[in-house]
Amino acid sequence: MFLGNDMKIVIQRVSKASVTIKSNKVAEIDNGLLILLGVVNEDSQEDINWLCNKITNLRIFPDEDGVMNKSLKDAEGDVILVSQFTLHASTKKGNRPSYIKAAKPDVAIPLYESFIETLQKTLGKKIQTGEFGADMKVHLVNDGPVTIIIDSKNKE
Q: Judge whether 12 counts as a catalytic residue.
A: no
The length of the chain is 156
Q: Judge whether 85 counts as a catalytic residue.
A: yes
Pairing relationship of beta strands 8-21 and 24-29 according to DSSP bridges: antiparallel
Pairing relationship of beta strands 61-62 and 32-38 according to DSSP bridges: unpaired
The active-site residue out of 12, 56, 84, 128 is 84
Which sign, positive or negative, has the C-alpha torsion 53, 40, 149, 23? negative
The active-site residue out of 61, 85, 115, 128 is 85
Q: Judge whether 84 counts as a catalytic residue.
A: yes
At 55, give phi and psi (nearest 5°): -60, -45
Q: Catalytic amino acids?
A: 84-86
